[in-house]
Amino acid sequence: MTDRGTQRAAGPYCGLCGKPANGETHDGGGLPPSDTHLKCARLLMLEPPRFCVACGRRQKVQVSPQGWWASCSRHGMTVSG
């Protein structure tokens, strides 16, 4: 079964757009949390995560009829649940 966007949101970066997940810049100063990624979360129902939620790097992604895997050069492989 395909993981439909549950744990993928858990991390400092958005799995869909690769930007900081809570609207913070992660440079020491913070911006207020935003709802920028609500749409991303919805889209992640129909997309694999193209960005690593731990570091925001672009991942290698393979989709198959029944699932997907995504691989970050730093943080390794995530497989659909």
Partner 1 sequence: MNHPILETARQQVLEQGIGLTEAQLVDVLRLPDDALPAALELAHQVRLRHCGEDVEVEGIISIKTGGCPEDCHFCSQSGVFDSPVRGVWLDIPELVKAAKETAATGATEFCIVAAVRGPDIKLLNQVRFAIGRIREEVDINIACSLGMLTRQQVDQLASWGVHRYNHNLETARSYFPQVVTTHTYEERLETCAMVKDAGMELCCGALIGMGETLEQRAELAAQLAALEPHEVPLNFLNPRPGTPLGHQDVMDGKDALRAIAAFRLAMPRTVLRYAGGRELTLGDLGTREGLLGGINAVIVGNYLTTLGRPADADLNLLVDLNMPIKELQRTL
Binding site for partner 1 (CB under 8 A): 1-2, 4, 17-18, 45-48, 50-51, 58-68
Residue pair 34/46 in contact (Cβ under 8 Å)? The answer is: no
Phi and psi torsions of 15, nearest 5°: -70, -20
Dist CA 22 CA 46 (whole Å) = 21
x-or-dash string of contact with Zn ion, 32-61, rule CB under 5 A: -----x--x-----------x-xx-x----
Q: Which is nearer to partner 1, 1 or 38 (CB)?
A: 1
- Contact region for Zn ion (CB under 5 A) — 4-12, 27-35, 42-50, 65-73? 65-73
Residue pair 21/55 in contact (Cβ under 8 Å)? The answer is: no
